[in-house]
A and B are shown apart, each in its own frame.
Chain A
Amino acid sequence: MNAGETRRLSVPATDAGIKAALDALESLWAAQGVSRAVTWPVEVSLDEVLANVVRHGLAGRGESAQVELELQLEPGDPPRCEVRIEDDGPEFDPLAAAAPDISLGVDERPIGGLGIELVRRLMDEVHYERKAGRNSLRLVRRLVAMEQ
């Protein structure tokens, strides 16, 4: 592995912005030679967080609203990945949301509500901070295979 890398980008609060963010993460893995077998939890989590920000926090603002991202990969055994997502939408702490009931059957199961729970379970650490009118969420994961 190389010396590690940090990438900063700003994407619009649209589907195209989410795609650009996921593409940037994919390109970071490729540049650093990290296997997708250990990176998928980060991609799923970033998708969940951005979907929330774009469809709720910044909904309706489209191209005029930006989400700031910092993608960081530190080499090591295992490598460590940290992703920071910042937006200027209304205060929203995803960690304060109640966990969904995952024991319900097909008929009772509400559609949706699972995203944040997945992030909690896939990441080693999730930190939320509200400062200077901005939401800042930090996701951390050591890139090891996920055993079930």
Chain B
Amino acid sequence: MEIGEERTAGALVIVPVGRVDSVSSGELERHVVARLDAGERRVVIDMAGVEYISSAGLRVLLVAAKRLKPPAGALVLCGLGPGVRTVLELAGFTSLFAVEPARAQALARVEAQASA
């Protein structure tokens, strides 16, 4: 797994690419937690490059969601392929997260959430 980032005026986009499994999820968690500790409050996680995600990766998403609860924070997921979406659905996670098809919509939503 590789982790990319894009910073926009209103948000930080985190872009994990590859397998988000029990081995790589530790690295993703350290990355996300470091950004939250540094004060990021509006975050998009773009999963278009994620091959698959297991429960260890879901745990990272949950950690981020707990720390970015509105109104103080905002977290939006986007770019979910069929496999990633299915795992989130089976885990009952889709109701816990704001999910958008692609990065542009996710950025619009994260900014709307933060100003709501």
Q: Which residues of A contact B (CB under 8 A)?
A: 15, 18-19, 22, 36-37, 40-41, 43-44, 47-48, 50-51, 55, 102-107, 109, 111-112, 114-115, 117-118, 121-122, 145-146, 148
Contact = CB atoms under 8 A, between A and B. Distances in A.
B66 interface: yes
A106 B22 contact: no
Contacts of B63: 111
B55 A48 contact: yes
Contacts of B56: 47, 51, 115
B51 A47 contact: no
B22 A50 contact: yes
Contacts of A105: 96
A22 to B, nearest CB: 6
Interface of B is mostly: helix
A18 B23 CA distance: 7
Interface in B3-45: 19, 21-23
A121 B54 contact: no
Contacts of B58: 114
A50 B54 CA distance: 12
Interface of B: 19, 21-23, 51-56, 58-59, 62-63, 65-66, 69, 82-83, 85-87, 89-92, 96
A22 B92 contact: no
A102 B88 CA distance: 11
A15 B59 CA distance: 17
B54 A148 contact: no
19 contacts: A15-B23, A19-B23, A22-B19, A40-B51, A40-B52, A43-B21, A44-B21, A47-B56, A48-B54, A50-B22, A51-B54, A102-B91, A104-B92, A106-B66, A106-B96, A114-B58, A114-B91, A145-B82, A146-B86
Given A103-B92, A109-B62, A115-B54, A43 B86 contact: no
A22 B21 contact: yes
Contacts of B59: 111-112, 114
